[in-house]
Each structure stands twice: as structure tokens, then as C-alpha cells.
Amino acid sequence: MKKNITKKLFGVILPALALLPAALHAQKKVNINWDKTLIVSKTTPTLQVVYNPYIKSSSPIYKGTFQALKDLGADYVRYVPWFPYPNAAVAELEPPTKDKTFWDFTHADPAMEDFMKAQEGHSVVINYSTIPVWMWKTKTRVDYPKDADGLMWDYNQGTELRDPSGKEVGEYFARLLSYYTKGGFTDELGKFHKSKYHYNIPYWEVLNEPDLEHKISPQLYTKLYDAIVTEMKKVSPQTKFVGLSLAHETNPEYFEYFLNAKNHKPGVPLEGISYHFYGRPSTNDHVTDSYQFSFFDQANGFLDRVRYIENIRKRLAPNVFTQINELGNILLDHDYKDPIEDRYWNLSGAMYAYLFIELNKLGIDVVGESQLVGYPTQFPDVSMMNWKNGKPNARYWVLRLIKTNFGPGDKLVTTSISNQNLMGQAFVTTKGKKLLLVNRSEKEQSLELPDATGATVNYVDLTTGDNPIGQTQLNSNTITLKPFAVTVVSWK
């Protein structure tokens, strides 16, 4: 009896084992239904530019940086002169006296000019994010560096405004906007300050990461937003305003309070919101191959929170747009002591590409990568430029690959890949049928595509490095993606 049972079992198991390689092979196929649309994209891929000395004309990478920005040709590019460089970020570093004001745009103008010139023909989101520290109540006077490039991480002091109504803050930003859009402004003492600028600024973001900077509560932020927007709309009625700009999206109170029109003054528009996400290594991570697990796990957690936030937005303010305008990765302090591995840039780019796909499905309007230029002491891990040679790195080329191929109006169609190391989404675009593939693994992955012989493949991977996007053609239906590769397959 035992022998018969054993024989029967082996008779079942052996054929199953024989079929196992074929089953595994089948798992590495991508299935696409080009006729079944999941959603029509309204998502624009873009980036942010943060002020620091390496975007100045004296920087060794200045020329390459602004050429890269211009060549990208992206819309909704966010420009942020921020608090660590108060000379460029704050236009009025001293409070006015009874007979003198201290408005000075000497250090702000050159970078603003370069940015606007590079963005000519494309929309911008301007965020002069820093409130002059003298508008806050502080125990003692807060001095600032006299050196234009002087770095000051503790400029943002104070949690209580000297004018609790926020009108003083609102008038400050209104004058700043007038300077750049109306050819000048009238200061607190009635003196006109002339400028040469008449820029079109379609979007202005109100403050930056208020949950970190000054630890502003949802209630105070909403009050400040109303005061600032009320004054700025007088200068530029057509400008749309982006609110919140949160560092962390984990506190639903900000969204519940800010998006409720009952908490705003009558007539103050709710037009857009923004928030940020950075994937980080776990405390045990030390090498790039292990970062992949924490980065993508955290990205999935972030996407769950986006879904929750979107439910709040749709319930309270369905006409408000969403800009997730800082996406990237921040390493641990010990990682800065040694050169960042080349493959890190590909991994970080792959995470952005993955989030671009998933945020597309959620109907997010703007998906912005952070940031154009970083370097040691200035968040080198988020840079899209190689600060050593002035060439764009893999993070930039991933954004450019996506921006070149995808945009609002594309149709996302049913796509399935059972290989968990690969993420893919097929699009029907105005330029034809395309598939965006992301290898989330540190190992090569192969995939069988439908009718792909002769298809064009554009890719960013470990072989392209700081060089432009690679291109090849498939001579079969099988494609192989190198570690952390981001690839676009285009059918004829």
C-alpha cells in the first residue's frame, strides 16, 4: 500500500516540477490591455530649485545647472530661496524705523533672474518662504551673516508674531511680489522702490514646511495664509496660491482644518495644497543594496497616507489641486563621510519613478523631485546635479526621461506584472503606446513584453551614470533591466 501511495505521489509531483520553470517564466511577463483605461492622467512631473551658493554665477557648476534646467523644459518648477541664506531669502533684514527702511534685493535678484530666464515659456511656483525674524517675538535680537553666502541654520526663531493679525507679514510678501511683477513697490514709509521686473508668476506657495519652521499650528498657519493671500491678491489677482507645504503629511489636523472653508476668512480662495516626502535608510542600513528595502517600504507607507489625505481633500475641497513638490531621499549622517555610491542616484531615481506611477493613479496634479542642486553641507543626497563635474546625475535623467514621454492627458491602461521586483505602467500617449518600467532590485531582471520586437527602449541605469539617456531597440520580446533601471519602451 505504501509503495502504491508513494508511486502515485511521485507521479503527481514530477510532472509539476517539470512545469515549474515554465510557470516561473510566465511570472516574468507583462500583460497590457491597451483598450482598458484606468484613469486619464493629470499629473505633471517636475522638480524644485532651492537657493544656495552653487546656483550663483560664481559657482563652478552654474552653467551646467541652468542649462540642465532649461533643457528639461518642465512646468510648475518650484523655486525656494530659504532661511539658511537670509541675505538672499529675506528682502528686508531689519525692521523699518520712523525715517528709514532696509529693503535690499542685491542678493536675491541674480538667482531669481537666472531661474526665470531658464524657465521662460514654462510655469513656475515661487516660494520666498522666510518671514523676517524681526517679525517674530524672540528673547534677544537675532543677527544674520554679513557674508552673502553665510550659512545660518538657526535664523528661523520665534513662535509668536509681533503682529498677531498677520497683516505685517502679508504686507511684506505683497511688496515682494509687487517688486517682481509690477516694477516696484511702495514701502512702509511711502517711498517707491523701482525694479526692472514684470514677471508672470502664476503660482505662489505660502511659506515652507510650517510644521517644522517655527512649529506653526494648523490654526496659526490658516490665519497667516489668509492674511498673506489677502494682501498678495491685491497685487496679482490672477496668481493662484498653494497652501500648507508640509514637511510631514502624518498629521491629518492640518488638512482637516486648512481645507475646511469655514476656517478661512470670507473671500480668501482655497486653490492648492502641497506636502513632501523623503525616503530614508533604516538605522541598520549602511550600503546602497540595503537602502532599497527601506526606501520602497516607506514609499508604500507614504502612498497610503496620500490616499487618506485625498479622501479629506475630496470631502472638504474637491476643487483644490495637490502638488507633492519635494520627493527624494535623505541619508544618515554617517553616509556623508564617504562618497555617495554611484548606484544610489539610480536607486533614488527609481523611487521617484515608482512614486510618479502610483501618484498618477491617485490623480495628483504635480509630482516634483527634490532638488536641482545639493552638495556636502547642503543635502548632497537630494542633488540632481553632480557638484563635482557640473553634469546632471541619474536622478535628473530619470526625471527627464519621464517628462519627455509622459504628461497630463495620457491614458493609463490595465497593466500587470507578477514579478515583485519590477513595477510597470502602460500609457497611451499622443506619441503612441509606451510602457514605463522600474527595477526596484539591485539585481538584473528580465521580462517578456507583448509584440515588442523592434520597439524602442530609452533607459537610465548603472551604465548611463551622469551621461544622457541611453537608447536601443529590442530584437526580441524579452527585455533585461539592470539594477535600479528606469526604462521606457515605445511601440511603433
What does the block give as the cell for 1?
500500500
pLDDT score for 339: 80
The runs of H, that is alpha helices, within 317-411 are 342-361, 394-405
Residues 297 and 420 in one domain: no
Instruction: Determine which helix (DSSP H) or strand (DSSP E) holds 40, and give its type and residue range.
Output: strand 30-40
Residue 66, in any domain of the structure: yes
449 and 346 co-located in one domain: no
| Residue at 12 is within a domain | no
367, 256: one domain: yes
Three-state DSSP state, 24: helix
Task: Answer yes or no: is 1 within a domain.
Answer: no
CATH of the domain at 459: 2.60.40.1180
* Residues 230 and 177 sit within 8 Å (Cβ to Cβ): no
Give residue 337's Cα distance to chain centre.
26
Are 349 and 440 contained in the same domain? no
Q: Identify the domain boundary among 406, 437, 467.
A: 406
Task: Judge if 242 and 308 occupy the same domain.
Answer: yes
Q: Indicate the residue among 362, 385, 406 that finishes a domain.
A: 406
One DSSP character per residue, 69-116 reads HHHH--SSEEEE--TTSHHHH-SB-S---SS---B--TTTHHHHHHHH
Q: What is the pLDDT of residues 122-159, one digit of tens each?
A: 999 999 999 999 999 999 999 999 998 999 999 999 99
Please tell me whether residue 125 adopts helix, strand or coil conformation.
Answer: strand
Q: Which of 406, 431, 451 is the last residue of a domain?
A: 406
Count up the domains in the chain and report the number.
Answer: 2
184 vs 174: CA distance, rounded Å: 11
**Confidence (pLDDT) at 27:** 45
User: Looking at the domain assignment, is residue 17 inside a domain?
Assistant: no
| Residues 206 and 117 occupy one common structural domain | yes
Per residue in 377-431, pLDDT (tens digit) is: 899 999 999 999 999 999 999 999 999 999 999 999 999 998 889 999 999 999 9
Residue ranges making up the domain that contains 64: 43-406
pLDDT of residue 22: 40
Apex 410 CA angle, 408 and 416, nearest 5: 125
Verify that 169 and 285 share a domain, yes or no: yes
Neighbours of 463 (CB within 10 A): 11
Stretches where the chain sits below pLDDT 70 are 1-27, 284-287, 333-338
Residue 200 lies in a domain: yes
Q: Are residues 351 and 386 in the same domain?
A: yes
Specify if 16 maps to a domain. Answer: no
- 206 domain-assigned: yes
Could you tell me if residue 244 is inside a domain?
yes
The verdict on 206 and 277 lying in the same domain is: yes
For position 338, what pLDDT does the model report?
A: 64
Q: What is the CATH number of the domain that holds 200?
A: 3.20.20.80
Are both 265 and 322 inside the same structural domain? yes
Same domain? For 279 and 393 the reply is yes
222, 264: one domain: yes
